[in-house]
Amino acid sequence: MDRSPRIPLVFCERTPSEASARAREFAEDMSRRRSVRDFSDRPVPADLIADCLRAAVSAPSGANQQPWHFVAVGEPALKRRIREAAEAEEREFYGGRAPSDWLAALGPLGTDASKPFLETAPWLIAVFQQRYGIGPGGERVVHYYPLESVGLATGILLAALHRAGLATLTHTPSPMNFLNGILGRPAHERPFLLLVVGYPAPDCTVPAIRRKPFSEVATFLGAEP
């Protein structure tokens, strides 16, 4: 069986007490992450966004095909175009496209078709899923588990941005095909989500929601924690 060249694994094992402390600190920090809709226009260095994206692209992917592309948008004119296109779709959504039960579920969050944060926040990161790849001769290359792979990378990106002290919002206007045209992405890439990134506004508030109890979302078979 053909195998690619092998290299030694770089692995940092922790003592049990250190591992527990690090895991607990990470869990507590991530529990404070909230979706933000009121952003400040304070600038965020492009290098910081790049470092967070470097963490994201370290994610595992099906057959190591890395079927993703991230477009970080800081240009005001492009952000305005994205807002205009997104709000057009959102007006259709809130004006009749969305079923009543979906709108009822969104009610406690206070969302509507107006998305000023798409211009106010210093960065928008458009995440694209490559449905298939393009080989060196222009041939189509099958991608395995592209949706799952992009989801893993996006989760790491959210964690990296939060750990860097930035606020985020996952925004998913439907459909999002306008992003391909505005950002010049090819047809084999499908928009996965639009991530709004920056600092929260000084008077920012968030809905008083609760997460499900841990016992409802995790099951241990064997030793209990």
Whether the upstream peptide bond of residue 200 has omega within 30° of 0, thus cis, is no
Confidence of residue 37 (pLDDT cuts 50, 70, 90): very high
Q: Which residues are bridge partners to 174 per DSSP?
A: none
Q: Give the residue numbers spanning the domain of 108.
A: 35-201
Encode pLDDT of 170-196 as tens digits: 999 888 999 999 999 999 999 999 999
% the chain with pLDDT above 70: 99
Q: What is the mean pLDDT of residues 101-111?
A: 81
* pLDDT average, residue stretch 85-101: 86
Q: For the residues 109-124, what does the mean pLDDT come to?
A: 92
What phi, psi does 198 have (nearest 5°)? 170, -155
55 part of a folded domain: yes
Check pLDDT > 90 for residue 103. no
pLDDT-derived band at 1 (thresholds 50, 70, 90) equals low
Higher model confidence: residue 1 or residue 121? Answer: 121
Neighbours of 41 (CB within 10 A): 12
Domain annotation covers residue 160? yes
Total-model pTM: 0.94
Residue 24 lies in a domain: no
CB 169 within 8 A of CB 175: no
Q: Give domain status of residue 145, yes or no.
A: yes
| CATH number, domain containing residue 184 | 3.40.109.10
Check residue 2 and give its pLDDT.
63
Beta partners for 61? none
Largest CA distance in the chain: 60
For the segment 189-199, what is each residue's pLDDT rounded down to a tens digit? 999 999 999 99
Tell whether 94 is covered by a domain: yes
Do 181 and 128 contact (CB within 8 A), yes or no? no
CB 26 within 8 A of CB 113: no
pLDDT tens for 136-165 read 999 999 999 999 999 999 999 999 999 999
Please say if the pLDDT value at position 3 is more than 80.
no
> If we measure between CA atoms, which residue out of 156, 205, 176 comes closest to residue 35?
205
Q: What is the pLDDT of the chain when averaged over all its residues? A: 94
The runs of H, that is alpha helices, within the chain are 16-31, 46-56, 76-92, 100-106, 117-120, 146-163, 178-183, 214-217
Tell me whether residue 195 is in a domain. yes
pLDDT at 6 over 70: yes
Residue 20 lies in a domain: no
Residue 206 lies in a domain: no
Least trusted range by pLDDT, from 37-41, 140-144, 208-212, 216-220: 208-212
Domains identified in the chain, total number: 1
Higher per-residue pLDDT: 51 or 101: 51
pLDDT tens column, 18-27: 999 999 999 9
